Structure 1
Amino acid sequence: MSSATPPPPGALTVEGARPTAPGRPRAHTPPPVPAAGLPPRAFLVLIAVCTAVTAANIYVAAPLLPLIAEDFGSTPSGVAWIASVAQFGYAAGLLFFAPLSDRVDRRKLVAALSLATTAALVLGAAASGTTVLAAAVLIASTATVVPQLLVPLVAARAPADRRASHVAAVIAGLFTGVVAARVLGGLAGQAFGWRWVFLGAAVLTAVLGLASAAALPKETHRRTGPLFGGLARLPGVVRGSRELRRACIRQGGMYGAWSALWTSLALLLTNEGDGYGMTTGAAGLFGLFGLAASLVAPIAGGLVDRFGAGRVVASAYSLAAVSVPLFWLGGERLWTLCAAACLVHAALVASHVANQTLALTTTSTPAVANTAYVVAGFAGGALASALAGTAFTHWGWTGVCAVAAGCLAVGWGVTSLRLRK
């Protein structure tokens, strides 16, 4: 969930790379300094900031739903489906564009996707209705897969003794972008209007996307086979690995529960009748609980190494299961809502670390497996967001919590059955 949620440190694998024995020289070590001539530290900072901005575009609409609804003469629950459109778009972008980084010049791809995202955000800012806005959000989120193109590059080109710290810096950018989308987006929307937030995101995306593209090293790719060959291999890779199928389903359930609760939270917090009647800016401050993910990721990685992925996923599901009734109580008690927000973020990231480790280490094609895994997670999140919007309209916050509980039940229940290889 780059991802709402990003790949954890230590779980990234570059396709075609093989580990070497201690003391044995590598056959090929990419130079740590980019071809554009930027010092390694400046290059890393640029990529991390670009990653934060592009990751924020996936969630830019979520904290603005009350303002969008007011502008279009609708209700917040009536436009909640736009948040799920963004997640469907990102899943589609991962499916089609992320594998291309192994086949085409990454500089041209990053530049083209950044410009496409910028144009879509401008279109969204000028939208006169929900249909045009949803189309703009769909295009923007489909093209905003730049983080998944940059993180593997950073991992591949970092010095061997500092690879983990370099990857962690970009991961921090991803988490920061997700938090900033809710916190800063909500505050800016309250102060200037939601359309200016879209325009600001467009400007930042264009500037940082083009700057990052210019700083990337020149790449030469030898095409062997169809351009979308990785996409064609996806079904076979998923069928061939029981562990990958389990990781995809479990993360789809976990991300679905998180998305149902998190994308609907602004509706509860800003609702005057059955909610807390907060302003959009105040509701956006709840995004700060997402910082819990940054603390949990390295801890979860160590637990996976020590106890195995299965135990960590089971513990994460237990945390998420505890958070659902707390979220439900949070409909009337604010402190339980705060506690639940911390728990569900910890559960999401711990589950992601464990499940992605399985996805990347149980097949001979880690890049293709990673695409299947991330797409499955975002597809589950998008479906749950759509269901949560309808549930909030008909049954209020209780309906949203029921959708989240259902996602967890399906994700754990299906994978607890004996899956055939």
Structure 2
Amino acid sequence: MATAALGLEGLNFNLSEEHRAVQEAARDFAHNELLPGIIERDNEARFPAEQVKRMGELGFLGMMVSPDYGGGGMDTVSYVLAMEEISKVDASASVIMSVNNSLVCFGLEAYGTEEQKQTYLTPLAAGEIIGAFCLSEPEAGSDATSQTTTAEDKGDYYLVNGTKNWITNGNSSSVCLVIAQTDREKKHRGINCLIAEKGTPGFVVGKKEDKMGIRASDTHSLLFTDVKIPKKNRIGEDGFGFKFAMSTLNGGRIGIAAQALGIAAGAYELSLKYAQERKSFGKQLFDHQAIQFKLAEMATRIEAARLLVYKAARIKDEHGDYVQAAAMAKLFASDVAMWATTEAVQIHGGYGYVKEYHVERLMRDAKITQIYEGTSEIQKLVIARELIR
């Protein structure tokens, strides 16, 4: 395999002063504004409305969007640095941030018309509103080609009918990117992406999911009954929807990989601190070789995940083909997150099983990173396909 295909030429993992400033700002925000009240928000499955508003004010909801449309104009590396720091503390907040940045804003900026960008991208990037990405359905999770939501062409508008499931920001979003089937005979070439506004007649927010993890993010089903969406709200040419979804998800995987990395790193940092403070059998917990080995392996696996995430971000920033790198980063980082959080609970012992010490929440939050933006099994299929492409 060619070196260039792996993105190794000129790869530099040194962070610039700007990158470190973003990292520090995200860390400060996470500890000062997200950490207070996080256990209560998790218990109550309460959307962090005030905190998300602050994220918008601080520029975390449109980091990579051009300043022409109200964004920060930052690179992908800056974005994953911020995602990692915020995810160390609050994965519910970071998934809200990920969807708005990686899926909604990216998709609109990359493929939207100028009118769509001015109308929707600008307030989304500024954090004045947040968006949702509506792909999954009751019978179409990882299989994006099996859309049962339909968008019937009525001339100057589409008539949309169907149900979308497991939609992050489902209730709190103002703008939704809806993937729907227009021509079933054309299969994936007959799918479109339409911009739907909340409040449109027939567009109803369904039940809220009672989730194991990321409980403070609002995950809902969305129902469409004879919803009229004007043709000007279609993104790209007729039939572009499937390609749009796949392209957008590739970038989204980098965001979720960074989230998984942050969850793992947060669990490790809490465990290291606990091991230095807790005494067992008359000596510091860290002085037990069994604990040292656990922490050493956690640190090593997390660093390996970090390098994969940074590499995928660098390739994207250099406008390279990052499909394989993103899938590898998400596959590995999500597995590390699940493993590291389990080890963190074990290190904490009984304290790890109660909410006060935070690691049990991180363990619950970690699992979803192996599922959304394509399951781990889907990532393996993507990687295998890229190996022989």
Normalised to the residue count of structure 1, the TM-score between the two structures is 0.31
Q: Which has the higher helix share?
A: 1
Normalised to the residue count of structure 2, the TM-score between the two structures is 0.33
Q: Which has the higher strand share?
A: 2
